[in-house]
Structure 1
Amino acid sequence: MTSPFDRIRPAATTARQVSDLAVAFGLTIAPGHAADAAVTCVASDNRVARPGDLFVALPGARAHGAQFAADAVGRGATAVLTDARGAELIGSDSTTPVLIADDPRAILGQVAAWVLGNPADELMTFGVTGTNGKTTTTYQLDHLLRALGWRGGLIGTVETRSGDRVVPSILTTPEAADLQALLAAMREDHVRTLAMEVSSHALAQHRVDGVVFGVAGFTNLTQDHLDFHGDFESYFATKADLFTPARARRGVVTVDDAWGERMARAAQIPVATLTTLPDKHADWTVTDVAPSGTGSAFTLTHRDGRTLRTSTSLPGGYNVANAALAVAMVLEGGSDIRDVTEALTAADGLSATVPGRMEVLATAPRVVVDFAHNTEALQLALAALRPTTTGRLAVVFGATGDRDAGKRPFMGAAAVRGADVVYVTDDDPHDEDPAKVRAEVLAGTGTGGTPGRTVEAADDSGSRTVEVHEVAPRADAIRAAILAAGQDDTVLVAGRGHETIQEIAGVDHLLDDRVEARAALAARNAIPQQDGQRQQDPMQERTTQA
């Protein structure tokens, strides 16, 4: 398997000498190897190595990359960068130069940037971090920057764009070598702006080293990825690293919650604050939010008096926050508010389509696919759909295996609080028992862990009865929810969004929630029913008990 980023690499490069690289980064050339060679690009995966590459052999959890150095050299790599252990594994019987660093991962980004001539310096770069909203905000950023006339690039969870070239993404933020090659290709494609998601994993693993963003943005911080970071403090500290001089020049921080306020205080670069709340003071304030089409219109005002009114086509208050953050980041990046206002008017507001983010597939019943995969995101998605649902609100969701098990019961509780019908199913089980994961989600629903029951829930409108079901596999759950829905109901299929592969016990299975939902809608249309009648799906009896 090769990385899709291998398909977006610079066509022309400038050769750099290994001896100059050694001097620039204080590296040792292993004895017994050639002392010099020319390198033109960098690869950290032997499978994508090309002639002229510097292959960076990193220590891994299961194997050391040096074990694959010979394969990379066989594919054309002209030099290797590794640590002392890697040099031992390679041995001294190779004439290929081997450079030794104490921690090659920590310098990989800067090395790749140096080899390729620091391509990020020739782009207007916008980096967005936070638990939820990164993808939507970067799409809105890209939409606005293109509306302003810039040739844009985008890097994120769903896809990567370099001008008119588009490839699907494997990681939210690419590995450092892939990222720098991609930025160099964008330079060749005459891309001028970049909107990019910056994940906490990427910051911790040095993937964005070698990039100093012109403007960094922060959406929010909620429980997620604690299996990787350990606790909230470490998670916060990793996110805060983006707001340091080594990572960005300016920032915009959403301060709607305590974590955002803390981020603004912790920032080591100049930051502008943004709020959507009426009782908070910030540099940028969102007011006069009103329904507009499928989304909302809003006014964004700076404390210095600058103001504009625009809209987002995506529903929910949190999407207003995402859209406002995108606009504020462009303005803080130096764009004139009059130009931004004119561009937004011509573009009909922030109307970018974000795959798998509140994506509406049908209207009767309304079927929406969203990436909400943690407690806060699930709550926000359900709250966004409730006001415009005249019938019942159903949700299909699961929790990911081998990831942050602590959030599972909270997700179950959030589903019961927000929906009228709950279908607990599988997300990506990975190597964990799917039934065990579902049971831990069900534990938070108030059913005593037993599906097929009803529970009482309360919201602002009073108490209501909520149905809780357990249905697996996921395709069956989607089908059951859609066939059981009335014409005025809404079905939210949450957790996977744009994803098309489900991993079960190490095996990848094709699964696209949108494809399954459309198939269920087609089956629904083939079954005669009276207006408003809810259908009984024969497959619903295939419920799997925990």
Structure 2
Amino acid sequence: MVASAEQGRDAQSVRPSRPVAHTVEQLAHLTGAQIVTSQGASDVPVTGVVLNSREIQPGDLYSALPGARTHGAQFAADAAASGAVAILTDAAGADLVAQAAVDLPVLVSDDPRAWTGRIAAEIYNSQPEDGSAQKLFAVTGTNGKTTTTYFLTSILRALGHTTGLIGTIEILAGDTPIPSKLTTPEAPHVHSLLSLMRERGIGATAMEVSSHALEFHRVDGVRYNVAGFTNLTQDHLDLHGSMEAYFEVKAQLFTAERAERAVVLLTEGDQWGEAMARRARENLGSDHVTSVALRGNIGDDAHAGPERSGADWTLNSLTRRGIGHAFTLQHRDGRKLKVSTALPGDFNVANAALAVLMVLESGVDLDTLQKALDEHDPLTTDVPGRMQLIGTRPTSVVDFAHNPDAMVRALQSVEPTEEGGRTIIVFGATGRRDTSKRPIMGRIAAEGADIVIVTDDDPHDEDPAPIREQVAQGAREAQEHGARAAEVHVIAPREVAIHTAVRMARPEDSIILAGRGHEVFQDLNGVVHPLDDRVELRAALDALHSGRKEQS
């Protein structure tokens, strides 16, 4: 299908104004791909790269990749009609192009996806060597990526940079949102975004790099100044199959091809942080890798120094600061950084420590960084849908926790402080994803909350009732073995579950809505419904507080 006018405008809005044109012959030399000639000219300049035929603009190279259901080459005629001047594909795709009698030169590669990012990097000149390139920060790991990127941009702004952000919640150039139809941009979008941001004067950009982005070559051709690792816990095993395979995909970021320097969080007893630090040192050299020890339970006041932890930096002197924390980062050579964040949760201490040290490793002077931390309090910043406080009495929080480790941490963070306070959790499980997590999540909820309400997350095209029951069964089995939960309820739809939780709550209680965070739509068997946990929670709290006023 030929691109609509609206789609064309969206595609144009995320493109730099000064691409570096390459001929098909030059791209063939770059990639080693074979040129299959046709009546189309192979010396026509290529000025853009696109994976989606509906986003084609005149002068583009159409990267026609094999998919799970269809081959992108089936849309070669549509791409040509929209102005594509060449096609990159595999042998099967080349046959489809020939069958469709599309008169464009075709670049044939055994792995066209692997070359798409590198071609986009050349054409969009996303990281020029003339000194104008922005500093790039990448954050990977199972949990904490989003918050860490927000912390990074906040610190960098406090240091005087105009910042960019590429993440799962939004894409920003300074304070200006950039439209994107993808949660994780594909390689051409990544390179065009980076180039566009440089044109707009962005000096530093932080980006979430998921395992999907690495697995599917979405950040190929990008080299980051500093890459950070948060943690590795069970998630995405439907894609990777095992934790070992999941680790190997994440480790791709910590190579000389993709990163100059690395910062790795180490948690006592966590094999994956130690393994990632070792792998990064092997790939980047020990002088280019910094580790920070968080110890086992960073909720305990820590006083172990770097000489005892074996890490470059150690987090210690942790104390409460309101609902957040203040702490010290101490290097083995005696240097110290005093840090604080008002965001609740031990995991946000870890995210803050990672962000601070990533900025330090980018070349910022320690005293300059400390001054920015002291004067601007940059780690007290809103992160949509991440431990986002919606109301008090009852304390009401929305969080993206959607895997076992994140749920444990989220529940610990909302533990009521008033005597007699209870924790109420509302959550579900996603359809067509790692089904082994479902009873585990139910068990964790029952162990960490007093009232468990199981509802729907995004069932997608899976029947939601069995999903709810698998989660609830894990909670009930935990109850049978003495878990904390006094009540386990199964309530759908999610809006009703949220309002029920609020009606059940007392002023001293805590409510956490887990799993969806910032998301504003729910997928029920392919039908998209508007649903924002934050909106529903505010409405329920307003109704509760209005009722209390009427009774008083």
Q: TM-score, normalised by structure 1?
A: 0.92
Residues 465 and 85 of structure 1, relative CA distance in 2, 3 Å threshold: closer
Alignment partner, residue 359 of structure 2: 330
Amino acid at match of 1:324: A
Deviations 1:195-221 (A, max 9, x none): 110000111111111011111100001
Are the counterparts in 1 of residues 20 and 122 from structure 2 also a CA contact under 8 Å?
Answer: no
- Paired position in structure 1 for 2:515: 495
Deviation for aligned residue 1:140: 0.2
- Tell me the equivalent position of 2:409: 380
* Equivalences for residues 460-499 of structure 1 within 5 A: 464-499=484-519
Letter in structure 2 aligned against 1:97: P
For 1:5 and 1:255, the matched residues in 2 are separated by 40
Matches within 5 A, 1:287-302: 287-302=316-331
Q: 1:25 maps to which residue?
A: 31
Distance in 2 of aligned mates of 1:359 and 1:392: 19
Aligned partner of 1:104: which letter? P
Q: Write the distance in 2 (CA, Å) between the matches of 1:493 and 1:5.
A: 35
Preserved CA contact (<8 Å) 1:33 1:98: no
- CA spacing shift, 1:482–1:169, aligned 2, 3 Å: farther
Please list the CA deviations of residues 234-270 of structure 1 after superposition, one character each: whole Å capped at 9, or x if unmatched: 0011111111111111111111022101111122113
1:481-536 deviation per Cα after TM superposition (whole angstroms, max 9, x unaligned): 012111111110000000011111112111111111112122223324799x9xxx
Name the amino acid aligned to 1:319.
N
Among 447, 450, 472, the residue aligned to 1:442:
472
Match of 2:448 among 411, 418, 425: 418
Distance 1:339 1:455 in 2: 55
Query: Which amino acid in the other structure matches residue 86 of structure 1?
Result: G
Instruction: Report the secondary structure of 2:453's partner residue.
Output: strand
Write the letter of the residue equivalent to 1:74: A
- Cα deviation, 1:296-321, whole Å, max 9, x if unaligned, reads 11111111222111211211111100
Q: Check whether the contact 2:74–2:97 (CA below 8 A) recurs between aligned residues.
A: yes
Q: Structure 2 CA distance, aligned partners of 1:76 and 1:301? A: 57
CA offsets 1:126-158 (integer angstroms, 9 cap, x no match): 101000000000100111011111111111110
Partner of 1:544: none
Contact 1:253/1:260 (8 A) holds in 2 = yes
Q: CA deviation at 1:36?
A: 2.3
CA distance, structure 2, for counterparts of residue 529 and residue 193 of structure 1: 49
Q: Secondary structure at the match of 2:476?
A: coil
**Quick check: 2:226–2:361 contact (8 Å CA) kept in 1?**
yes
Aligned length: 522
> What is the DSSP-based 3-state SS (H/G/I as helix, E as strand, rest coil) of the residue aligned with 1:243?
coil
Of 231, 234, 239, the match for 1:228: 239
The one of 138, 156, 179 equivalent to 1:145 is: 156
- Partner of residue 430, structure 2: 400
**196-205 or 155-164: bigger deviation:** 155-164
Inter-partner Cα distance in structure 2 for 1:440 and 1:6:
45
CA contact (8 A) 1:156 1:169 kept: no
Correspondence for 2:530 among 510, 514, 538 = 510
CA distance in 2, matches of 1:73, 1:465: 60
Distance change >3 Å, CA 465–CA 124, structure 1 → 2: closer
* Residue aligned with 2:256, SS: coil
Structure 1 residue 79 displacement after superposition: 1.6
Mark the runs of 5 or more structure 2 residues left unpaired by the alignment.
Answer: 1-5, 296-301
Which AA in structure 1 matches 2:454?
Answer: V
Q: Is the 8 A contact 1:424 1:442 kept in 2?
A: yes
The match for 1:543 is: none
Structure 1: gaps of 5 or more residues: 449-453, 459-463, 534-546
SS in 2 for 1:119: coil
Counterpart secondary structure, 1:396: strand
Q: Is structure 2 residue 61 aligned with structure 1 residue 54?
A: yes
Cα displacement (A) at 1:348? 1.7
Task: Indicate the residue corresponding to 1:315 in structure 2.
Answer: 344
| Alpha-carbon distance in 2 for matches of 1:170, 1:260 | 33
What SS class does the counterpart of residue 501 from structure 2 fall into? helix
Q: Which amino acid aligns with 1:52?
A: G
Amino acid at match of 1:160: I
Tell me the distance in 2 between the aligned counterparts of 1:400 and 1:138: 25
Query: Structure 1 residues 285-294 or 427-436, which shifts more?
Result: 285-294
Q: Residue 127 of structure 2: which of 115, 119, 126 is its match?
A: 119
> What SS class does the counterpart of residue 245 from structure 1 fall into?
coil
CA–CA distance in 2 between the matches of 1:417 and 1:350? 30
Distance 1:42 1:80, change over 3 A: same
After the TM superposition, which of the residue ranges 321-330 and 513-522 deviates more from structure 2?
Answer: 513-522
Give the match for residue 342 of structure 1. 371
Distance 1:407 1:95 in 2: 50
Q: Secondary structure at the match of 2:317?
A: strand
Q: Which residue is equivalent to 2:15?
A: 9
Q: 1:30-57 CA distances to partner (integer Å, 9 max, x unpaired)? A: 1323222111111101111112211111
Deviation at 1:88, TM superposition (A): 1.2
CA contact (8 A) 1:455 1:465 kept: no
Instruction: Quote how far apart the aligned CAs of 1:455 are.
Output: 6.0
> Does 2:462 align with 1:432?
yes
Letter in 2 for 1:259: W
2:86 alignment counterpart: 79
Compared CA separation, residues 273 and 82, structure 1 to 2 (3 A): same
Q: Equivalents in 1 of 2:492, 2:359: separation in Å?
A: 44
Which amino acid is the alignment partner of residue 437 of structure 1?
I
TM-score by length of 2: 0.91
Query: Of 42, 61, 64, which aligns to 2:71?
Result: 64
TM superposition shift of 1:387? 5.2
Do the aligned partners of 1:6 and 1:178 also contact (CA within 8 Å) in 2?
A: no
Q: Match for residue 98 of structure 2?
A: 91
Name the stretch that deviates more: 399-408 or 2-11: 2-11
CA–CA distance in structure 1, aligned partners of residues 72 and 27 of structure 2:
20
Distance between the aligned counterparts of 1:365 and 1:447, measured in 2? Answer: 28
TM-aligned CA deviation for residue 417 of structure 1: 0.9
2-side partners of 1:436 and 1:308: how far apart? Answer: 50
- What CA distance in whole angstroms lies between the structure 2 residues aligned with 1:161 and 1:272? 28
Counterparts in 2 of 1:140 and 1:388: CA distance versus 1, 3 Å: farther
Q: For 1:434 and 1:409, how far apart are their aligned partners in 2?
A: 15
The CA RMSD measured in Å over matched residues stands at: 2.0
Q: Given that residues 148 and 355 in structure 2 are in contact (C-alpha distance below 8 angstroms), is that contact kept between their aligned partners in structure 1?
A: yes
CA deviation after TM superposition for structure 1 residue 170, in Å: 5.0
Task: Give secondary structure in 1 for the equivalent of 2:178.
Answer: strand
Q: Structure 1 pair 73/358, CA: closer, same or farther in 2 (3 Å)?
A: same
Q: Cα 1:329–1:120, aligned 2, differ >3 Å: closer, same or farther?
A: farther
- Once the two structures are superposed, what CA deviation does each residue of 1:434-468 show, in whole Å capped at 9, x if it has no partner? 111111111211359xxxxx76745xxxxx55211
Query: Are residues 292 and 126 of structure 1, via their aligned partners in 2, closer, same or farther at CA, if it must alter by over 3 Å?
Result: same
Structure 2 residue 238 is the aligned partner of structure 1 residue 238? no
CA shift in 2, pair 1:170/1:305, >3 Å: farther
Contact 1:456 1:465 in 2 (8 A): no
C-alpha distance 149-421 of structure 1, shift in aligned 2 (>3 A): same
